[in-house]
C-alpha cells in the first residue's frame, strides 16, 4: 500500500504542477480552431514546397494536441486533397509543436527542453520531407490513397471531422467575442480534453509508478550513463523505442520523459522520445487501417529516422551552446500542494475551465461529445453541416439541435 501511495503521490504532484498550463494551452487551441475554417487548411496544403510545409507546421501547431485526433485529421485532410507530405507535417506539428506541450516541458523539466522541442520539430519535418521526396514512390502513395478513401474507422474520427469554426461577418476578434464564438470555443475546449484525458491520466499514472518502483540502476545501465559519448549516441536511438512500447501518447508522455531524464537518458534522447508519440503501437495499427501495411512500414521507418536525426541535431546544437541542463539537478515533482504561484494559477484557470464547461453543457455539448468516435464519412457530413451552420443559422444552439442524435 505504501508503494502504491508513493506512486499516486508522484502522479498527483505532477498533475497539480501542470493543470493551469493544460487549461491555458487548450483554451488557446480552441480559440484558433474557432476562427480557422477546415477547408481553408485543406486549400493551403496542396503541395510539398518548403513554404507549404512551413504553413502546415504553423497550422498544426495551432491545432489539437491529441495524437489520435491529429492522425485522424491528417487522413481527413489527405482525403480532401491535401498533399500527403504536408498532411504528415501538420500531424507532427499538432502533437509536438503545441503551446501546452512547451509550457508543461518548461514546468516539469526546464525551459531548455521547451526550446529543444521547438528547434527539433522543424528539423524532423524537414528530414521527413526529404526522405519522402527521395523514397516515396507514386505507386505506394496511390495505394495509400485508395486505402484512405475506404474510410476505415480508427480513433477520434468524429472529433477530427467536425469543423466548429465560426463563420459570418467581421474580423477575428469580433467573431470570437460573439455568442457563437464563446460557444464554439467551449465545445472545442471540452472535446480536446475528452480526447486527451485517457492518455494524460495513463501517462501520469505510469510515470508515477515507474518513478516510484523502477530502480535508477536499471535506467543507468539501459542508457549507458557511465559512458557519456555512448549515452549521447544511443539516446536518440533508444528513446523512440521506449515510447513505442509505452502506449502513452500526446502530452501524456512528458511525465514519463521526466522519469527517463532523471534515469540518465541523453538530452537528445528525451526529445526523440517525446516526438515518438506518433509511433506508439495503437497508432501504428491505425496507420495500417488508414493507409495499408506497406505505407505503415514506410511511415515507421521514415518517422523513426527523422526523430533520431532531430534528437542528434538538438544534442549537438544545445550541447555546443552549453544549454543542456545538469542531469544531477533533475528531480521528480513530489511536493504536493502548497500556497505558491502554481496554486493561484490553478485556481484562476480552473475557474475559466468551469465557465467553459458550463457553456458547453448549456448549448448541446454532450450530444456533440457522443459523436467524437463516429465514422470518418459520417463525420465528414457533419463537418459540412457545422461549417455552414454558423453562416446560415441563427446561433450555435440551433445548429447543435440539428445535429443531435
Cell numbers for 246: 509505452
pLDDT level of residue 390 (50, 70, 90 thresholds):
very low
Residue with cell 493543470: 19
Most confident segment among 106-120, 320-334, 361-375, 387-401: 106-120
Provide DSSP, 214-254: S-HHHHHHHTTTTSHHHHHHHHHHHHHHHHHHH---GGGGH
Q: Is the pLDDT of residue 405 over 50?
A: no
Q: What average pLDDT does the segment 126-146 reach?
A: 96
Most confident segment among 9-13, 45-49, 357-361: 357-361
Rounded CA gap, 33 and 176, in Å? 11
Q: Whose CA is closest to 201, among 209, 212, 189? A: 209
Q: Is the pLDDT of residue 397 over 60?
A: no
Q: Is the pLDDT of residue 184 over 70?
A: yes
Q: Is the pLDDT of residue 380 over 80?
A: no
Count of all residues that appear for the chain in the document? 405
Rounded CA gap, 40 and 42, in Å? 5
- Please give the pLDDT value at position 161: 62
Specify the DSSP class assigned to residue 324: P
pLDDT, one tens digit per residue, over 265-310 is 999 999 999 999 999 888 999 999 999 999 999 999 999 999 999 9
Q: Is the pLDDT of residue 336 over 60?
A: yes
> H or E element: which one contains 273?
helix 267-275
Buried b (16+ CB within 10 A) or exposed e, 125-141: bbbbbebbeeebeeebb
Q: Is the pLDDT of residue 386 over 70?
A: no
- Please give the pLDDT value at position 167: 64
For all residues of the chain together, what is the average pLDDT? 83
Name every residue whose Cβ is closer than 8 Å to that of residue 376 and which is 6 or more positions away in sequence.
Answer: 72, 75, 76, 79, 151, 153, 154, 157, 160, 161
- Please give the pLDDT value at position 65: 61
- Please give the pLDDT value at position 315: 97
Least confident of 59-68, 147-156, 235-244, 391-400: 391-400
Q: Is the pLDDT of residue 384 over 70?
A: no
Rounded CA gap, 405 and 390, in Å? 19
DSSP-H helix ranges across 36-162: 38-44, 50-61, 67-79, 84-96, 99-108, 111-135, 138-149, 157-161
Q: State the residue range of the domain holding 71.
A: 2-403
Least confident of 143-147, 231-235, 338-342: 338-342
Q: Work out how many domains the chain is built from and give that number.
A: 1
CA distances from 265 to 107, 170, 231, 234, 235 (A): 19, 51, 7, 9, 6
Comparing 165 with 322, the larger pLDDT belongs to 322
Name every residue whose Cβ is closer than 8 Å to that of residue 182 and which is 6 or more positions away in sequence.
Answer: 359
Q: Is the pLDDT of residue 147 over 70?
A: yes
User: CA angle 161-96-268, nearest 5°?
Assistant: 155
Rounded CA gap, 178 and 391, in Å? 13
Rounded CA gap, 53 and 295, in Å? 20
| Under 8 Å between Cβ of 164 and 386 | yes
Comparing 247 with 385, the larger pLDDT belongs to 247
| Under 8 Å between Cβ of 22 and 342 | no
Rounded CA gap, 281 and 64, in Å? 20
Rounded CA gap, 318 and 298, in Å? 30
- Please give the pLDDT value at position 21: 85
Least confident of 94-108, 174-188, 274-288, 380-394: 380-394
In SS3 terms, 45-79 reads as CCCCCHHHHHHHHHHHHCCCCCHHHHHHHHHHHHH
- pTM for this structure? 0.80
Comparing 394 with 45, the larger pLDDT belongs to 45
Q: What average pLDDT does the segment 240-266 reach?
A: 85
Amino acid at each position: 500500500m505504501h508503494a502504491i501511495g508513493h506512486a499516486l503521490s508522484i502522479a498527483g504532484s505532477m498533475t497539480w504542477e501542470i493543470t493551469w498550463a493544460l487549461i491555458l494551452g487548450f483554451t488557446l487551441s480552441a480559440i484558433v480552431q474557432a476562427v480557422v475554417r477546415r477547408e481553408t487548411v485543406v486549400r493551403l496544403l496542396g503541395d510539398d514546397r518548403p513554404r507549404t510545409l512551413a504553413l502546415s507546421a504553423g497550422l498544426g501547431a495551432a491545432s489539437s494536441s491529441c495524437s489520435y485526433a491529429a492522425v485522424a485529421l491528417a487522413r481527413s485532410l489527405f482525403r480532401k486533397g491535401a498533399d500527403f507530405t504536408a498532411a504528415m507535417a501538420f500531424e507532427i506539428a499538432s502533437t509536438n509543436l503545441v503551446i501546452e506541450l512547451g509550457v508543461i516541458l518548461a514546468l516539469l523539466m526546464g525551459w531548455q527542453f521547451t526550446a529543444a522541442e521547438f528547434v527539433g520539430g522543424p528539423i524532423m519535418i524537414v528530414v521527413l520531407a526529404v526522405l519522402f521526396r527521395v523514397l516515396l514512390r507514386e505507386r505506394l502513395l496511390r495505394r495509400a490513397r485508395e486505402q484512405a478513401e475506404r474510410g476505415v474507422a480508427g480513433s477520434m474520427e468524429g472529433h477530427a471531422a467536425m469543423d466548429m469554426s465560426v463563420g459570418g461577418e467581421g474580423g477575428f476578434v469580433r467573431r470570437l467575442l460573439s455568442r457563437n464564438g464563446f460557444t464554439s470555443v467551449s465545445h472545442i475546449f471540452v472535446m480536446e480534453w475528452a480526447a486527451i484525458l485517457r492518455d494524460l491520466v495513463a501517462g501520469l499514472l505510469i510515470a508515477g509508478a515507474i518513478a516510484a518502483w523502477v530502480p535508477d540502476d536499471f535506467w543507468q545501465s539501459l542508457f549507458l550513463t557511465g559512458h557519456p559519448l555512448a549515452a549521447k549516441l544511443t539516446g536518440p536511438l533508444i528513446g523512440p523505442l521506449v515510447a513505442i512500447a509505452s502506449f502513452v501518447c500526446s502530452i501524456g508522455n512528458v511525465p514519463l520523459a521526466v522519469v527517463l531524464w532523471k534515469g540518465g537518458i541523453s538530452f537528445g534522447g528525451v526529445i526523440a522520445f517525446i516526438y515518438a508519440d506518433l509511433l506508439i503501437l495503437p497508432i501504428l495499427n491505425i496507420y495500417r487501417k488508414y493507409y495499408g501495411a506497406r505505407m505503415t512500414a514506410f511511415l515507421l521507418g521514415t518517422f523513426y529516422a527523422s526523430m533520431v536525426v532531430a534528437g542528434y541535431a538538438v544534442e549537438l546544437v544545445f550541447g555546443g551552446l552549453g544549454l543542456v541542463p545538469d542531469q544531477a539537478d533533475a528531480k521528480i515533482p513530489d511536493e504536493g500542494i502548497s500556497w505558491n504561484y502554481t496554486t493561484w494559477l490553478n485556481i484562476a484557470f480552473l475557474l475559466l475551465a468551469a465557465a467553459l464547461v458550463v457553456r458547453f453543457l448549456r448549448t448541446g455539448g454532450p450530444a456533440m461529445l457522443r459523436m467524437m468516435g463516429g465514422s470518418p464519412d459520417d463525420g465528414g457530413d457533419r463537418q459540412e453541416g457545422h461549417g455552414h451552420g454558423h453562416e446560415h443559422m441563427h446561433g450555435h444552439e440551433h445548429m447543435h439541435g440539428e445535429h443531435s442524435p
